[in-house]
Amino acid sequence: VDKRALARARERLVGSGTVGGGVDKLLCIGASTGGPEAIRLLLRSLDAERCAIAIAQHMSPSFMAPFAERLGRLSSFTVRVAEHDEPVQPGVGYVAPGDRHLRIVRQGGGAVCQIESGPKLHGHRPAVDRLFLSAADALGDSALGVLLTGMGTDGAFGLVGMHDTGALTIVQDKASSAVWGMPGRAAELGAADLQLPVREVGPLLSELLVNRA
């Protein structure tokens, strides 16, 4: 990891906000082609018990529940398909349902999941941009954004939004991506604090979050 980029990443986390409701940070992950394996690699090496996770993966609706179940078995998080108005809790991962957008909104002292069937974005529902932009609006620097392998541009502008509101943002590097469309476009737009091989994302986030204070 580039030492200067890592130092800037640490600076972003120091003094940044918390989600509330017992949740320190909400890690928002977006992916498409090659995403299930990339997300699996990230989550199995992520140790951040005070965080929650929200995932938008381009995938056929019938695969969403088995995908969430598999992630839960392979990680320290309880992972499930998100439900409407479900509170965001620490140690839980929320997967966008098939053919539905997942948004995050503030409610009370924390955050909740919102499920909606609005128009497709970039030809996709769920769309990564819908998740990322909602997190930027609701949580600002209390969120983290990670854009993984995928074809097209979905998530790139959302990651810009997250970066501009103070969130730490990461994209998967070209060498470890099945398709460097989505993360590549985000990198071109200057949205990424760090570009990393997917195997390094979980360990680095774990270390940064433990030592962010």
- List the structure tokens of 27: 């890690």
Cβ–Cβ under 8 Å, residues 113 and 86: yes
Omega before residue 126 within 30° of 0, cis: yes
* 142 carries an active-site annotation: no
Give the closest residue to 198 by CA, choosing from 143, 156, 148: 148
Q: Which of 24, 129, 141, 154 is catalytic?
A: 154
Q: Which of 16, 24, 45, 58 is catalytic?
A: 58
Q: Which of 32, 45, 75, 142 is catalytic?
A: 32
Q: How many angstroms separate the most distant Cα atoms in the chain?
A: 43
CA distances from 144 to 122, 189, 197 (A): 22, 17, 17
Phi, psi of 164 (to 5 degrees): -70, -20
* 154 carries an active-site annotation: yes
* 16 carries an active-site annotation: no
Q: Which residues are catalytic?
A: 32, 58, 154
